[in-house]
Structure 1
Amino acid sequence: MHSILPFLLAMVAAVVLLEMWATKLKIAYPILLVVAGLLVSFIPGLPVVKINPDLIFFIFLPPLLFEAAWTISFKEMKKWWRIIGSFAFLVVFFTALSVALITSHYIPTFTLALGFLLGGIVSPPDAVSTGAITKFVKIPKSIAAILEGESLLNDASSLIIFRFAMIAVGTGHFVWQEATLSFLWMVIGGAGIGLLVGWVFVQAHKLLPTDASSDVALTLIEPYFMYWIAEQLHASGVLAVVSGGLFMSARRLVFLNSASRIQGYSVWESFIFILNGIVFLIIGLGLPEIVSGLHAEGIPLSTAIGYSLLVTVTLIAARIISSYAAMIATLIFRPSVAPRASSPKMRFIMPLLLGWTGMRGVVSLAAALAIPVTLVNGMAFPHRNLILFITFVVILLTLVVQGLTLPYFIKRTWGLNEVFKTESEEETRRKMKQGLKQHVYEFLKNKYDNELNGHAGMEKFLKHWEERTKASDDSWMNEKTKVIFVELLEIQRQYLTELNKDPKIDEEIIRQQLYQLDLEEERLRII
């Protein structure tokens, strides 16, 4: 323990330093982390990083999925649910099928079940990688929402494929009737359990005398409870965390106060950053050990690299083909919901861009490491080291090749911002703030008209909202005006909640303004 602890602390420090360096270089930090982990792994004397396969899903996936469910725009998910659903389920299955057919044909003794196992592992793109890459280039919010929604749901679909493939590899047979019933229970049961557990935690937050610290502590354990309970009942723990996270996210203004929301945002941002950073470092650190496993099995490194390149090309091609198939199907069957492109060229480019955003990452690594060393009968798991090697190389190649070229492609397609006819963020913010100002001013005039006249504090209060300026000191803020101020903050939250129902308004802008209101309320508490 004393030997591994400094190494773990050094990993966290390396994650922070590499992220700062990546920001300066304007590249995605997962790329630097993977490369750095690979280089560091060749330093002699370092301890070997090993994670229990039975714990890898439970340690990393629940909080990563829970945080993603809290940050995604549910309104955008509903708006583009057809595209998100097709990419999250149909494209994942098509990708897994393509990998299964190719690998079972070209890799000796590689069965179709092993091909589906590998396909389930490498089929889901990684939202963290895409988000880190698009941080430095501007893309339409709708495309970002499609990518986020896809990554949130495709984890569940790919892991379901992974689970059934594991059963087929372990038992040697596959019963479609049982698989269909199991699939339905995993999907319906997982979503239902997540909603039920999420509702229980919402009630706990509302009824228990919690403060900001205890609220944040509860949110840290909630995804683990959702995942564990669903897995114990043989349902999908991933869907449980996603559905429970979406349920609680939509009600955050109800059961969390402003202090809990502010502290929770900071804690979760740091927590997820560390988790993601450690995982991407592990990707690089683990590759040399996998290579030694290949040598033990008698598989030449050049042969394994060739298989990895074959799978990587299959993944990229399958995603691009699926993107164009989805666009064509939408134009034929539902042209009314197809994205409005500014030109035929832009309509052609958008599926290519979506197809090129298939960087693999955390979920693929977790699934690969979760493969047991031996089968139930005690025999060695077939081709485990080869599957791990292919997964590691696929992650590395998609991160480096697609990750480094994606910003270039986006910049070359600068007109892509016109694909979706939406007003600029600046114009949306201006209208929103003007609406807030008018709404609050009318509320004050209607409710406190009699108290406004002749009261210096109330007149300053009205002037504050009429001119959107702040007084040089807070001496005018007595208990009466403080109560009204808190009431006005709540009125603004209600206004923003109603405004968010407008499909033209970006939900991220609404959330940023809500966060500003939380900061104002906390500032008010210390006056």
Structure 2
Amino acid sequence: MLENFPFYVGILIVILLLIMLANKIKVAYPVLLVLAGLAISFIPGVPIITIEPELIFFIFLPPLLYEAAWTVSWKEMWRWRRIITSFAFVVVFLSALSVALVANYIIPGFSLALGFLLGGIVSPPDAVSAGAILKFVKVPKTLSSILEGESLLNDASSLIIFRFAMIAVATEQFIFYKAAVSFSWMIFGGVGIGLLIGWIFMKAHKYLPTDANIDIVLSLLTPYIIYLAAEEVHSSGVLAVVSGGLLLSNNRHRFLTSTSRLQGINVWESFCFILNGLVFMLIGLDLPQITNGLEEVSMTTAIGYGMVITAVLIVSRILSAYGAVIVTLIARNFITVAYSENPGYKTPFILGWTGMRGVVSLAAALSIPVYLNNGNGFPQRNLILFITFIVILLTLLIQGLTLPYFIRKIKLDDFDDTLPNDEVNNILRQELAEHALNYLKTNYNDHIETNASLQHLIQKWEQHSKGIDNESVGKDLKVIYLDLLNQQRQWLRNKNKEDKSLDESIIRRQMHYLDIEEEKLRYL
């Protein structure tokens, strides 16, 4: 370990340089990192990197899911819940089924159980890759909301398929009623454990004498404890982390101070930034380990299998995207749907094309045991690993590099999007200032008449300024201003609940601004 320490430091430096290059040339950084890892793995004398599956499942996966749950909008998830759940569960299952049938047909000795095992591994798209690409192009908020919501749930559904397929391969039997009970426990048990532990941590933050540093450390421990607790009782650790993260995210302003929120954002963004970079670099570096174990099938044949499976995944997801639109258009005649107009052919195609694979697929493939319980070698393990690698590489290169082109070429309609975010943000800021002024004049009218600083503050708000200057203020004004900031937060929360068409990211921008204003009071 110590003798390879300079190599690991060098890898971190390479990751940072490549991400800066990716931002410069406007290419999704996972693509560059995987290719760079491949190139480095062929350099003579480079240490062989062996990735332990537990390293990704228990160290990388929980914080990445937890951070995603904190950034996603629950309101948007609920609004688009039908299409999100259809993509996260139905489409993932159909993709796994398609892979299972094709693999069973074209690969000699590949049983249906092994096919479902491979399907469960490669069926979930990677949210990091899609997010890295979409930040360079403008897409409707609806599309990004659906992709964000899907990314939180599809990992859980694919890993459930993977787990049942593993049992079928190991025992050579599949008992339906036992599978149904186990499936229900994995879903409902995972969600329940996540909510319970999330609630406990929420109370710990609120009632224990914590400070910003302790709050941040507790937040870093939370996803690991939730994940391990759920996995220990054989429920879904992924769903547990997601449900616990959503609970804490939607109540963050009730148990965290403004200091904890502001500092926590910076810590979590940096932490997940380096985790994502390391994972995609490790995917490329792990190629020698994967190819060395490929003995029973020639390299050319294995690459051919990988290309066929990749094509099956791409086509099945695109067809599923159009199928979801058709089902929605039919369902609108019987139930209320979030969007009832026909989005045409453009949006379903882009939604179907955002199917890059990544972290979860690699972790699941590597977690396949070398030997079965009876001592025999796990059938087709090395081939499954290699096909998974080919799928990750090809989807990142083919879909990852062409997605921005298709988005620009197709010119997606801004369906269901109202005013531009900047315009809505300015309107909301003006309404918030008016609410604050009305509240001050109603509740602190006596203070306004006698406090010159408060009068000056009101004048600045009336002129649509951004806040108070770094001037000395008295203790009374700080108390009033803190009360006012809390009232503004409550107004924003109510506004978010009442206005269903309002983008929640704009509300969060205003919440972040109020946190900064509160933080400034510490230095005034």
- For the aligned pair, the TM-score class normalised by the smaller chain equals over 0.9
1:369 equivalent in structure 2: 366
Which residue does the alignment assign to 1:269?
Answer: 269
Percent identity of paired positions between Structure 1 and Structure 2: 58
In the alignment, the residues of structure 2 paired with residue 9 and residue 367 of structure 1 have an alpha-carbon distance, to the nearest angstrom, of 27
Matched residue, 1:519: 516
**Partners in 2 of 1:209 and 1:251 — Cα distance?**
18
In 2, Cα distance between the equivalents of 1:402 and 1:41? 24
Contact 2:142 2:417 (8 Å CA) reproduced: no
Aligned residue identity for 2:15: V
In structure 2, relative to structure 1, the CA distance for the partners of 1:349 and 1:483 (3 Å cut) is same
8 Å Cα contact 1:123/1:315 also seen in 2: yes
Q: Match of 1:361, as an amino acid?
A: G
Contact 1:88 1:150 in 2 (8 A): yes
Match for 2:431: what amino acid?
G
Paired residue for 2:103? 103
1:413 is matched with which residue: 401, 404, 410? 410
Equivalent residue number for residue 35 of structure 1 = 35
Q: Which residue of 2 aligns with 1:427?
A: 423
Distance in 1 (alpha carbons) for counterparts of 2:280 and 2:50: 14
CA distance in 1 between partners of 2:114 and 2:360 (Å): 18
Residues in 2 aligned to 1:53 and 1:418: alpha-carbon distance in whole angstroms: 41
The residue type equivalent to 1:444 in the other structure is L
Q: Give TM-score, length-normalised by structure 2.
A: 0.97
Q: Which moved more, 1:493-502 or 1:243-252?
A: 493-502
- Of stretches 460-469 and 206-215 in structure 1, the one that deviates more from structure 2 is 460-469
CA distance in 1, matches of 2:235, 2:6: 38
Q: Does 1:387 align with 2:389?
A: no
Q: Structure 1 residue 510 and structure 2 residue 500: aligned?
A: no
The aligned counterpart of 1:282 is 282
CA distance in 2, matches of 1:385, 1:211: 49
Q: In structure 2, what is the equivalent of residue 93 of structure 1?
A: 93
Partner secondary structure for residue 3 of structure 1: helix
Greater shift in the superposed pair: 82-91 or 279-288: 279-288
Partners in 1 of 2:178 and 2:196 — Cα distance?
26
- The amino acid across from 2:135 in the alignment is K
What are the residue-to-residue correspondences of 1:39-118 with 2, within 5 Å? 39-118=39-118
8 Å CA contact 1:330, 1:338 repeated in 2: no
> Which residue among 453, 456, 476 is the counterpart of 2:452?
456
Q: Distance in 2 between matches of 1:7 and 1:400?
A: 27
Q: CA deviation at 1:507?
A: 0.8
Q: Residue type matched to 1:396 in 2?
A: L
Q: Which ranges in structure 1 are unaligned for 5 or more consecutive residues?
A: none
One of 302, 320, 323 as aligned partner of 2:321:
323
Residue 253 in 1 paired to residue 248 in 2? no
Tell me the distance in 2 between the aligned counterparts of 1:423 and 1:6. Answer: 51
**Compared CA separation, residues 219 and 470, structure 1 to 2 (3 A):** closer
Question: Match of 2:233?
Answer: 233
Shift of 1:189: 0.5
* Count of residues paired in the alignment: 521
- Taking structure 1 as the reference length, the TM-score comes to 0.96
1:145 maps to which residue?
145
Shift of 1:394: 0.6
Higher mean C-alpha deviation, range 424-433 or range 457-466: 457-466
Read off the aligned partner of 1:197 and give its amino acid letter.
I
* 8 Å Cα contact 2:140/2:417 also seen in 1: no
User: Cα deviation per residue 1:10-41 (whole Å; 9 max; x = unaligned)?
Assistant: 22222111110000001110010000000010
Q: Note the alpha carbon deviations across 1:121-170, whole angstroms, 9 max, x for none.
A: 00000110000000100101111010011111010000000000111111
Distance of 2:278 and 2:466 partners within structure 1: 44
2:195 aligned with 1:162: no
For residues 73 and 467 of structure 2, what CA distance do their matches in structure 1 show?
35
Q: Which residue of 1 aligns with 2:213?
A: 213
Offset at residue 509 of structure 1 (A): 1.2
Q: CA deviation at 1:525?
A: 0.5
Select between 307-316 and 458-467 the one with higher mean Cα deviation: 458-467
Structure 1 residue corresponding to 2:300, chosen from 286, 299, 302: 302
Instruction: Tell me how far 1:454 sits from its aligned partner.
Output: 4.2
Letter in 2 for 1:97: L
Deviation, structure 1 residue 470: 6.2
- Counterpart of 1:12 in structure 2 is 12
* CA distance, structure 2, for counterparts of residue 219 and residue 512 of structure 1: 21
Say whether the 8 Å CA contact 2:48–2:288 is kept in structure 1: no
Identify if the C-alpha distance between structure 1 residues 453 and 225 changes in structure 2 by more than 3 Å, giving closer, same or farther. same
Do the aligned partners of residues 94 and 458 (structure 1) sit closer, same or farther apart at CA in structure 2, a change above 3 Å counting? same
Rounded to whole Å, the distance in 2 between the matches of 1:287 and 1:34 is: 10
Q: How does 1:465-480 map to 2 (within 5 A)?
A: 465-469=461-465, 474-480=470-476
Instruction: For 1:298, give the aligned amino acid.
Output: E
Q: Secondary structure at the match of 1:418?
A: coil
Q: Distance in 1 between matches of 2:466 and 2:353?
A: 48
Partner Cα separation in structure 2 for residue 249 and residue 35 of structure 1: 35
SS of alignment partner, residue 179 of structure 1 = helix
Deviation of the 1:457 alpha carbon = 1.7
Task: Name which of structure 1's ranges 402-411 and 5-14 shifts more when overlaid on structure 2.
Answer: 5-14
Instruction: Find out whether 1:358 has 2:367 as its counterpart.
Output: no
